[in-house]
Structures are given as structure tokens and as C-alpha cells.
Amino acid sequence: MNVTLLGCGRWGSFIGWYLDKIGHNVAIWGLSDSPQFRELVETRKNNMLSFRESIQFTDDLEAAVSRAEVIIISISSQALRSFIQRVAQYDLKGKSIVLCMKGIEVSTGCRLTQIVEEYVPAETPVAIWVGPGHPQDFSKGIPNCMVIDSRHDELKQFLIGQFSSDLIRFYVGQDLIGSEVGAAAKNTIGIAAGMLDGLNLSSLKGALMSRGTREIARLIKAMGGNELSAYGLCHLGDYEATLFSKYSHNRCYGESLVKGEKYTLLAEGVDTTRALVLLGEKYQVDLPICKGVKAVLDGELDAREELGKMFDRSIITEFYS
């Protein structure tokens, strides 16, 4: 199958490597002035992987789109709206779009599939590919489980049949709202986990995992999804990779923040946190962890003050709605 990856960051480049490895015809698109893309073109390597000659690299977006049966997008979530407008200028007839990215638009609270569906033809189906795992681990042959979800049942089944291997086992998602919100929100919980690490309070991660999952479950339910999705691979199942791993950008960002250190890599959870608070207000859902993380990010409270504020909350039942 002809697959095009739009985006050459750590996820986009890994997915290209992976799909080439299992037998698909892969092209990876990137911006001509991107240092990451220039490195791939010149060396066919990055800091994790070597790319076979069978993979095509291109900075021609129209050519990249036109050759594809399946288009996989892996870019910063806040850049998706402007980027999909560019992609939608080209003929998408007979093509499918898969988003391998996690986030919620900070200015609107829109899920990423909602943004794409505003611009692409109705007959162009959209899916998401989410779940645990880091390219650094996959590249070493360490397997994991992930989820593909979509409003289009045939597309889900098709993609899982095409993309499954002994490295990645895919499950069929059954709740697009929950899968998207859960996948995005785990990055906020990851920032909170990093803050705990930076404060030498890592033993509180158990409570964070329990309360964080319940908090996001309430939001998913209020938005019309299945609250059980928060306990699946899209969210709770991704906690090990996000709350504990040295490869987690969001955990590292939270740790650096409370230590007063600069962190330069992309942490999607920063904007996602602000979007989640917006959604909590819209749907009237109590999100104390999300609001607490936002208060620290915005400089309204330091992390120790916020933690104390959470412990001083009024007594409530553990599984309140």
C-alpha cells in the first residue's frame, strides 16, 4: 500500500520506518528548511533509526499527497488547522487520513478529527492512531499495544489489518471522543507527574494516576463519550510511557519547570492543559488536577502551593461524579 507520512519528527519518522519494515511503500514529507528533514535526506538516519533506500523523502507536499492511499499526519497539534487547509487543496478522492498525534486545539477546545473534518471532503474518512510506546523502545524491538479509532468501522478494520505486526498489536477503538480526549489528556497528567518528580514526591504518582484517570473519565462522559475509555490504552494504558519514562517530553517538562530549568523540546501537554480547562468549564466538569497544572504553568501558584491546595480540598467520596 502507498503510505505517505506528513511530518518527520520522532513519531512521524518512526512510523515511516515501521510501515516500510512491514512491507508498505512509504514516503516521508518534511519542510525543506527543517534540520530534522535535511538530516534524514542527507544521511538516511536520525538519532534512533536508519532508513532503507525503499523509503522516499520529499519536500513536495502535492506530490506526497497525490501518491498516497493513506495519509498519516504527525505534526504539532496546534499547527493542524493551518496545515490541513494546505492538504485539503489537493485531490483527496479515494484517500484516507490517519492522525498519529495527540492534542486538543487550545483556542477552541476542538478534537483533532473535528478540525480535519471541517476541511476535507465528507467522503475522505479520518482515523486516529494512539496509545502507549516510545519510538526509542519500538526501535529496539520492544513491543506494545495501540489503538486505531474512527467513526468509520470499515476503515478501522482495514488499517488494523494493514498495520499490525509482532511489534505493535492494535485494538479496535469504539469511542472516538474518549480515545481522542484520553490520548491528549494523558500529557497533562504527565506534566503533573514530572512536577512530582522534581519535588521529590514521586510516591504520589499512584494517587495521581488514580485521580487523574477518574477526572478525565468524568470529562469524556460529559462530552458524550464512554467514561471507560479513560481506563483503556488511550489514557491509563499510556501512563507508564508518559508518567515514568525518561523519553516522555511532558514528564521532563514538568520536572524541569519546578526545578527552574529550561526545557526546549515540544511538550504538547502545555496547550492541552489549557484546552482541557476550557472544556471543563464548557461541560461543567470538576477538573482539579488540570486546573492545578494550569495554575502552575501560568505562574499563578508554585507547584508546592498547588499540591497543598489539593490536599486541603473538602472531604468528598472517591468516585464522585
pLDDT in tens, 251-306: 999 999 999 999 998 899 999 999 999 999 999 999 999 999 999 999 988 888 88
Share of the chain above pLDDT 70, in %: 100
Confidence of residue 307 (pLDDT cuts 50, 70, 90): confident
Q: What is the pTM of this model?
A: 0.94
Coil, strand, or helix at residue 201? coil
Around 149, how many Cα atoms within 13 Å sit in the side-chain half-sphere? 24
Confidence of residue 317 (pLDDT cuts 50, 70, 90): confident
Q: Which CATH class is domain 2-172?
A: alpha beta
CATH of region 187-311, choose from 2.60.120.200, 1.10.1040.10, 1.10.10.10, 1.20.1440.230: 1.10.1040.10
Q: What residues does each domain of the chain span?
A: 2-172, 187-311
- Whole-angstrom distance, CA of residue 78 vs CA of residue 217: 23
Coil, strand, or helix at residue 38? helix
Q: What is the mean pLDDT of residues 6-26?
A: 96
CB atoms within 10 A of CB 61: 18
pLDDT in tens, 136-154: 999 999 999 999 999 999 9
pLDDT in tens, 144-183: 999 999 999 999 999 999 999 999 999 999 999 999 999 9
Give me the helices (H) in the chain, please.
Answer: 10-21, 35-43, 61-66, 80-87, 112-117, 135-138, 153-163, 176-198, 205-222, 239, 249-259, 269-283, 288-297, 303-311
Q: What are phi and psi of 121, to 5 degrees?
A: -60, 150
Q: What is the mean pLDDT of residues 197-215?
A: 95
pLDDT for res 127: 98
For helices 176-198 and 249-259, the axis angle rounded to 10 degrees is 40
pLDDT in tens, 97-114: 999 999 999 999 999 999
What does DSSP say about strands 126-130 and 144-150: parallel, antiparallel, or unpaired? antiparallel
Q: What is the mean pLDDT of residues 206-220?
A: 96
Fold agreement (2-172, 187-311): no
Judged against a pLDDT cut of 90, whether residue 208 lies above it is answered with yes
Q: Pick the residue with more confidence: 307 or 195?
A: 195
pLDDT for res 158: 97
